[in-house]
């Protein structure tokens, strides 16, 4: 333990963010950084629990409790407190290949299960994690580490998102020759196309990709397996194939008027902006702009919030985010939401802070459902019709949403963005290889084995488990790599 009474004597501190009203004028990352002295002080708040729930990542009641990659959090908190940054980096890299990603975009379920949070504010774990890896880059401690020898075995990884990159990194570490195939023009999957630059600067992704290339991993972009190269060809040419294509099939939202111009899905909207920004700083105009439009975002999750932030930077006239969930309480409910579950409490995400700074209020509407889209005489969206809802349990035990009579409302809108989640992976490869799927259409493979119904073919990440967190994708990529290594060598050197 750093200091036995640190959690009582030192208050939780977070780094200040850039002013919301100012940062909406650019696409740079919005968070600032803390001093070494402040970080060491925050590390001292860690209790070094006998049972550290912060690093025992498990699924609880539909959410995640603790860290899915099992970060050795108490250890590197203590090392930071003692000023032993290089040692802290070594401990961090033992469990997490990409702390520069999770330290920026993870919702930090580790903090939700921090024991200090039982009686006060949790330890500032996520901020310390990012600080450790950035200190490592600044000091030159993070360098390419190619394997000392090669096994001669060749593995193809399909998809370069967090699961694919983690799997490739671990297999390469074991000495296998790894080729990663990515259908986009840049490596990174969701990390590049899917998460806006203000949350994760693409220079951070590129920095890690260059390290992986220097360690011997081959990346092939602009190549879609199942279209540009038959999936069967990979199975025939490689000793193993790992499918990490993600859950990219959007959940359909078919209500009256959904065919109108101006009703769009969230990911093409976000990705178009990201690509135009990376290609030309938005000067080529090859993206769907929300400028001078009333924007409605349907979906209360992170993707929806990213749409809000993007629309603000486009210069929208107004922006509103719809969610079917009720407004969360200000404090954790100890009965329905006990520790160490992730706390379901009312907060303003970065995008909501920005919308409040620009328009004066939280942009969210809770317990609301869109009933139809209405267009003008030219087929362009002009308004949304909605109704307030309550969630009830019907006679079969199902939870359903029931409209509340008399709560109908009309919202003006020229752009509606559908951000209600994903229905699993696209099935091009699945159908070609005849892979067995589960009831949710994900590729079927047991956790801990990751082997599909086809010999030599493994799967990991959202393609196997469904839409989830980046940190779960990293966990699955690492675990799948262990199983592939065992399949190829009879035993594994990976931990």
pLDDT(488) > 80: yes
Residue 107 binned pLDDT confidence (cut-offs 50, 70, 90): very high
Q: What is the pLDDT of residue 3?
A: 80
Cα(404)–Cα(415) distance, rounded to whole angstroms?
Answer: 26
Q: Is 356 helix (H, G, I), strand (E, B) or coil?
A: helix
- The predicted-structure confidence for 47-92, as pLDDT tens digits, reads as follows 888 889 998 889 887 789 999 999 999 999 999 999 999 999 999 9
The reported pLDDT for the residue numbered 348 is 96
Spatial strand order of the sheet with 240-243 comes to 218-220, 177-181, 154-158, 240-243, 457-459
Query: For residue range 353-392, what is the model confidence (pLDDT) as tens digits?
Result: 999 999 999 999 999 999 999 999 999 999 999 999 999 9
pLDDT grade for 398, boundaries at 50, 70 and 90: confident
Q: CATH code for 6-139?
A: 1.10.1060.10
Residue 396, pLDDT score: 85
8 A C-beta contact, residue 475 and residue 69: yes
pLDDT of residue 422: 94
- In the prediction, which pLDDT does 1 show? 61
pLDDT one-digit tens code per residue, 148-203: 999 999 999 999 999 999 999 999 999 999 999 999 999 999 999 999 999 999 99
> Pairing relation of β-strands 177-181 and 368-375?
unpaired
- Read off the pLDDT of each residue in 309-318 and give the average, rounded to a whole number: 98
Q: How far apart are CA 73 and CA 457, in angstroms?
A: 34
CB-CB contact of 250 with 423 (8 Å):
yes
| Phi, psi values for residue 154, rounded to 5° | -115, 130
Query: How many percent of the chain have pLDDT more than 70?
Result: 100
d(C-alpha 290, C-alpha 283), whole Å: 15
pLDDT of 108 higher than 80: yes
Task: Write the CA distances from 272 to 8, 72, 127, 279, integer angstroms.
Answer: 48, 38, 30, 10
Same fold, 154-249+423-489 and 263-418: yes
When pLDDT is cut at 50, 70 and 90, the band that residue 476 belongs to is very high
Across the chain, what does the average pLDDT equal? 96
Which class does domain 154-249+423-489 fall in? alpha beta
For 400: left if phi > 0, alpha if psi spans -120 to 50, otherwise beta; the answer is beta
Using alpha carbons, select from 322, 323, 324, 295 the residue that is nearest to residue 309: 295
Per-residue pLDDT at 397 exceeds 90: no
From CA 101, how far away is CA 123, in angstroms rounded?
A: 19
CB-count exposure of residue 125 (10 Å: 0-12, 13-18, 19+): buried
| Rounded Cα distance, 160 and 177, in Å | 16
Q: CATH topology for 263-418?
A: FAD/NAD(P)-binding domain (3.50.50)
Domain boundaries along the sequence of the chain? 6-139, 154-249+423-489, 263-418
Rounded Cα distance, 54 and 287, in Å: 41
Contact 327, 449 (CB under 8 A): no
């Amino acid at each position: 333990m750093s200091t036995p009474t640190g959690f009582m004597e030192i208050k939780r501190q977070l780094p200040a963010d850039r002013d919301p009203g100012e940062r909406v004028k650019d696409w740079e990352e919005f968070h600032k950084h803390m001093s070494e002295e402040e970080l060491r002080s925050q590390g001292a708040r860690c209790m070094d629990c006998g049972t550290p729930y912060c690093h025992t990542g498990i699924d609880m009641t539909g959410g995640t409790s603790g860290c899915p990659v099992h970060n050795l959090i108490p250890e590197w908190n203590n090392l930071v407190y003692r000023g032993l940054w290089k040692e802290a980096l070594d401990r961090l890299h033992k469990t997490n290949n990409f702390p520069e990603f999770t330290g920026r975009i993870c919702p930090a379920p580790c903090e939700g299960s921090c024991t200090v949070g039982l009686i006060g504010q949790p330890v500032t774990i996520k901020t310390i994690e990012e600080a450790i890896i950035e200190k490592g880059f600044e000091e030159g401690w993070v360098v390419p580490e190619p394997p000392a020898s090669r096994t001669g075995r060749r593995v193809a990884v399909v998809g370069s998102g967090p699961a694919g990159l983690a799997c490739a990194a671990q297999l390469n570490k074991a000495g296998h020759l790894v080729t990663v195939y990515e259908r986009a023009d840049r490596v990174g999957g969701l990390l590049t196309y899917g998460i806006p630059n203000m949350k994760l600067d693409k220079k951070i992704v590129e920095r890690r990709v260059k390290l992986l290339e220097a360690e011997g991993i081959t990346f092939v972009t602009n190549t879609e397996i199942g279209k540009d190269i038959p999936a069967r060809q990979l199975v025939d040419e490689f000793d193993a194939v790992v499918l990490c294509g993600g859950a990219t099939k959007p959940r359909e939202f078919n209500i009256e008027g959904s065919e109108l111009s101006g009703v769009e899905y969230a990911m093409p909207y976000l990705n178009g902006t990201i690509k135009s920004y990376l290609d030309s700083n938005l000067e080529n105009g090859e993206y769907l702009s929300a400028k001078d439009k009333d924007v409605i975002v349907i979906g209360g999750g992170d993707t929806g919030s990213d749409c809000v932030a993007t629309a603000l930077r486009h210069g929208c006239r107004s922006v509103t985010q719809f969610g079917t969930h009720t407004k969360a309480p200000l404090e954790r409910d100890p009965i329905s939401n006990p520790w160490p579950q992730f706390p379901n409490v009312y907060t303003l995400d970065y995008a909501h802070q920005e919308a409040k700074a620009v328009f004066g209020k939280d942009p969210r509407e809770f317990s609301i459902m869109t009933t139809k889209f209405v267009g003008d005489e030219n087929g362009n969206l002009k308004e949304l019709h909605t109704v307030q809802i309550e969630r009830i349990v019907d006679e079969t035990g199902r939870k359903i949403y029931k409209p509340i009579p008399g709560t109908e409302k009309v919202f003006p809108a020229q752009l509606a963005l559908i951000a209600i989640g994903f229905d699993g992976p696209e099935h091009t490869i699945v159908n070609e290889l005849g892979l067995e799927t589960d009831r949710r259409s994900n590729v079927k493979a047991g956790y801990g084995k990751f082997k599909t119904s086809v010999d030599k073919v493994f799967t990991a990440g959202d393609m196997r488990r469904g839409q989830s967190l980046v940190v779960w994708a990293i966990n699955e990529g690492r675990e799948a790599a262990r199983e592939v290594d065992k399949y190829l060598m009879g035993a594994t050197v990976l931990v």
